[in-house]
Amino acid sequence: MSTESRLRWRARRGTRELDAVLGWWLDARYAQADATTRQDFEALLDTPDPDLWDWLTGHARPSDPRFAALVDEIRAHHRV
């Protein structure tokens, strides 16, 4: 299984909204992202769904700046 396929599987969260925004990043940004950003996205996928939801809806902010940058980018293109 390719890295992208494995990440796509991990990005499926069981809610349409989270699936859509995380899948969008994989489709639109992954191929052009540098190695560090790709690693940051993979680490972001270890975050529990409630925290991801709060971050992506703007109800909370990740304390880790790596995650904050990804969340900001996703939020700039999607409003959950």
Query: Residues 41-75: pLDDT tens digits?
Result: 999 999 999 999 999 999 999 999 999 999 999 99
Q: What integer pLDDT is reported at residue 4 of this predicted model? A: 86
What are the extents of the domains in the chain? 3-77
Q: What is d(CA 78, CA 80) in angstroms, rounded to the nearest whole number?
A: 6
How far is 24 from 21, CA to CA, in rounded Å? 5
Q: Is the pLDDT of residue 78 over 90?
A: no
From CA 53, how far away is CA 2, in angstroms rounded? Answer: 27
* The pLDDT value given to residue 1: 78
* CATH assignment, 3-77: 1.10.150.250
b/e string for 43-78 if b means 16 or more Cβ within 10 A?
ebeebeeeebbbbbeeeeebeeeebeebbebbeeee
Residue 80's pLDDT band, with cuts at 50, 70 and 90, is low
pTM equals 0.89
